[in-house]
Chain A
Amino acid sequence: MFAQAIEDILKDRCTPAVVRAIEAGGSPAALWQAVEGAGFLELLVPEDAGGAGLPLADLFPILSSFGRYTVPVPVAQTIVARALLGSRFAMPGGMITLAAALQREASGAIVCSLTPYGRVADFVLARDGDALWLLPAAAARREATGVHSSLAATLRWPDESAVTHVSGAGPLLPSFAAALHAALLSGAMNRVFEMTLQYCNDRVQFGKTLGKFQAVQHQLSVMAEHVAAASMAAEAAFHTDAAAPSLLAAAMAKSRTSEAAALVASIAHALHGAIGITEEYDLQLLTRRLHEWRMAHGSEAHWNAWIGNKVLASNATIADFVRSV
Chain B
Amino acid sequence: MNNLLSAFRLATLPARTNPFRAEVKAFLQSSLAPAPADIRARSWMGFNAGFSKKLAARGWVGVTLPAQYGGANLDAFSRFVLVEELLAAGAPVSAHWIADRQSGPLILKFGTEAQRQFYLPRICRAEAFFCIGMSEPNAGSDLASVGARATRCEGGWRLNGRKIWTTNAQHCHYMIALVRSSGEPQDRQKGLSQFIVDLSLPGVAVRPIHDLAGDAHFSEVFFDDVLLADDALVGAEGSGWAQVNAELAFERSGPERIYSSIVLLEHWITCLRSRSEASAHAATIGRLATHLATLRNMSIAVTAKLVNGESPLVEAALVKDIGTEFEQSIPAVIEAAIALDPDAPVDAELYRAVAYVSQIAPTYSLRGGTREILRGMIARGLGLR
A contact residues vs B (CB 8 Å cutoff) = 190, 193-194, 197, 200-201, 211-212, 214, 217-218, 220-222, 224-229, 231-233, 235-236, 239, 251-252, 255-256, 259, 300-301, 303-312, 317-323, 325
Specify the chain A residue showing the minimal Cβ separation from B25.
A320
Among A197, A212, A214, A232, which residue has its beta carbon within 8 angstroms of that of B8?
A232
CB neighbours (8 Å) of A304 from chain B are 282-287, 290
In chain B between 332 and 372, which residues have their CB closer than 8 angstroms to a CB of chain A?
372
Distance in angstroms between the alpha carbons of A251 and B286 in the assembled complex: 10
Instruction: Determine if B294 and A229 form an interchain contact, defined as CB atoms under 8 angstroms apart.
Output: yes
Main secondary structure of the interface of A (DSSP, over half): helix
- Tell me if B9 is interfacial: C-beta within 8 Å of chain A: yes
Partner-binding segment picked from B107-115, B176-184, B202-210, B376-384 = B376-384
11 A-B residue pairs with Cβ-Cβ distance under 8 Å, sorted by A, are A190-B2, A197-B2, A224-B4, A224-B382, A225-B321, A229-B291, A239-B10, A256-B290, A308-B285, A311-B286, A317-B266
CB neighbours (8 Å) of A194 from chain B are 1-2
CB neighbours (8 Å) of B2 from chain A are 190, 193-194, 197, 224
CB neighbours (8 Å) of A259 from chain B are 287
Instruction: Determine if B372 and A308 form an interchain contact, defined as CB atoms under 8 angstroms apart.
Output: no
B contact residues vs A (CB 8 Å cutoff) = 1-2, 4-5, 8-10, 12, 84, 88, 259, 262, 265-266, 269, 272-273, 278-279, 281-298, 301, 318, 321-322, 372, 374-376, 378-379, 382-385
Instruction: Determine if A322 and B382 form an interchain contact, defined as CB atoms under 8 angstroms apart.
Output: no
Main secondary structure of the interface of B (DSSP, over half): helix
Specify the chain A residue showing the minimal Cβ separation from B294.
A233
Instruction: Determine if B375 and A317 form an interchain contact, defined as CB atoms under 8 angstroms apart.
Output: no
Beyond the given A300-B287, A303-B286, A318-B265, please list 14 additional residue pairs across the A-B interface where CB-CB is below 8 A: A197-B2, A218-B372, A221-B318, A221-B375, A221-B379, A222-B375, A228-B5, A236-B297, A256-B291, A256-B294, A300-B290, A301-B283, A318-B262, A319-B266
CB neighbours (8 Å) of A321 from chain B are 289
Instruction: Determine if B293 and A233 form an interchain contact, defined as CB atoms under 8 angstroms apart.
Output: yes
If A217-B376, A221-B382, A224-B318 touch, does A232 touch B294 (CB 8 Å cutoff)? Answer: yes
CB neighbours (8 Å) of B10 from chain A are 232, 235-236, 239
Instruction: Determine if B290 and A225 form an interchain contact, defined as CB atoms under 8 angstroms apart.
Output: no
CB neighbours (8 Å) of B376 from chain A are 214, 217-218, 221
If A304-B283, A311-B286 touch, does A228 touch B318 (CB 8 Å cutoff)? Answer: yes
CB neighbours (8 Å) of A227 from chain B are 5
CB neighbours (8 Å) of B282 from chain A are 304-309, 311-312
Distance in angstroms between the alpha carbons of A232 and B283 in the assembled complex: 21
